[in-house]
Amino acid sequence: MNSSVDVKSSANNSQEEKAVCPLCLGDKQKRIRNRLRYGVLRDVMSCQGCGFVFLWPRMGQQETVDFYQKGDYRNVPRERLGLQIHDPEDTFRSRMGQARHRFALVKPYLSKKISLLEIGCGSGSFLFLVQPHVRKCTALELDSTFAAYVRQKLGIEVLQEPIGNLSVSRHGAGACAGHGVAEGHQNLIGRRGSGQGGMDPFDVICMWFVLEHLHDPLADLKKLRELISDSGILLMLLPNLWDPLLTIYHSSRYEDFFYQLPHLNYFSPETLQMALERCGWDGQIVPVQIYGLSNHLRWIFLKRPQVQTSKGTIDVWNFPDRIYRKIFAQRRQTDSLLVIARPRTKGAI
């Protein structure tokens, strides 16, 4: 798309304000590009101190919340391209295959004794699979249309508050210390707070491709540490700045596609590790290559993403694809990063 779109925001009123890194608070930045997906005009900055990449200027906190509550992040790009607006039921069905892959990641940590929170649940496909395997599911979804759909579809509590507004009750939590999520098993029974003004801590928190959207990722990672049980598990997936189409193939067309207005933050394995450590998390960062060889070939030769393929087509690529993805994972140059983390119990933030 050749036309440029200057998306207005309250941040644009302070275009001359010096960019500050959200990760290290450094003020020495380098602008690496000024155009996002769909021709949106916004600076992409790289911190010269820590290497973190982020959009500048940033939307304000309330503006960010409004952007998601109204569904603009889903609908505006599709309207601009003349596509049909996302319908929750259609999204629920179309995302089920994706949800099964995510369910496989979290399944070792599930039991009928634990409570799970998914932040950014969308249409609820993942929670639909999780619900029979846990004591209680809770969702956080700012999009009002999707939140209402999940309440009706799954009959679960859906919070519509920013992460920073949530609170839990630690009443009696000490009695459960050391009996939380074990490696692959859980035996902590989450309990409702008894009039303490908050929910009980969650045993598992999942955020699938959410961290890149957050206005203040460090503040929210610290808040998640407050929301989780002492031996709980945080699982996250997010885009990797070291995506091979950027760092190996140097696809300029993919770079135009990669940077987008809803994604305020761009983490590499190094900056993600830094963020986790600063926010009191101990964990593992696993490089994950979601898109395979056929998708990369389309970007390299046709300059566009892969369309949905038949099962037979995927099977043809099965063996070379596994090797291909493994090579990128070994180099940490994958399209995504998986985080499996626990709250640090000693050496506070």
* Nearest-angstrom CA–CA distance, 50 and 56: 16
Tokens of 287: 């490089």
**What percent of the chain has pLDDT above 90?**
70
pLDDT tens digits, 28-66: 999 999 999 989 999 999 999 999 999 999 877 777 777
What's the number of CA atoms in the CB half-sphere (13 Å) around residue 22? 29
Residue 312 CB contacts under 8 Å (≥ 6 apart), including other chains: none
Pairing type for strands 185-186 and 181-182 reads antiparallel
* Nearest-angstrom CA–CA distance, 288 and 43: 28
Q: In terms of pLDDT, which residue wins out, 81 or 283?
A: 283
pLDDT of residue 181: 53
Q: Shortest CA distance to 244 belongs to which of 235, 255, 233, 234?
A: 255
Average pLDDT, rounded, for the chain: 85
pLDDT of residue 185: 36
Range name among 50-59, 76-85, 203-212, 333-342 with the lowest pLDDT average: 76-85
Q: In terms of pLDDT, which residue wins out, 252 or 12?
A: 252
pLDDT of residue 252: 97
Q: How do the domains of the chain map onto residue ranges?
A: 72-239
By the 10 Å C-beta count (0-12 exposed, 13-18 middle, 19+ buried), 199 is classed as buried
Q: Does domain 72-239 have CATH number 3.40.50.150?
A: yes
pLDDT tens digits, 148-188: 999 999 999 999 999 999 999 875 443 333 334 544 433 32
* Nearest-angstrom CA–CA distance, 299 and 80: 22
pLDDT of residue 199: 87
Number of residues assigned to the chain = 349
Q: What is the DSSP string of 83-133?
A: PPPP-HHHHHHHTHHHHHHHHHHHGGG--TT-EEEEES-TTSHHHHHHGGG
pLDDT of residue 319: 79
What's the number of CA atoms in the CB half-sphere (13 Å) around residue 342? 13
Neighbouring CB atoms inside 10 A of 144's CB total 13
* Nearest-angstrom CA–CA distance, 29 and 20: 8
Mean of pLDDT values over 4-15? 48
Amino acid letter for position 65 = V
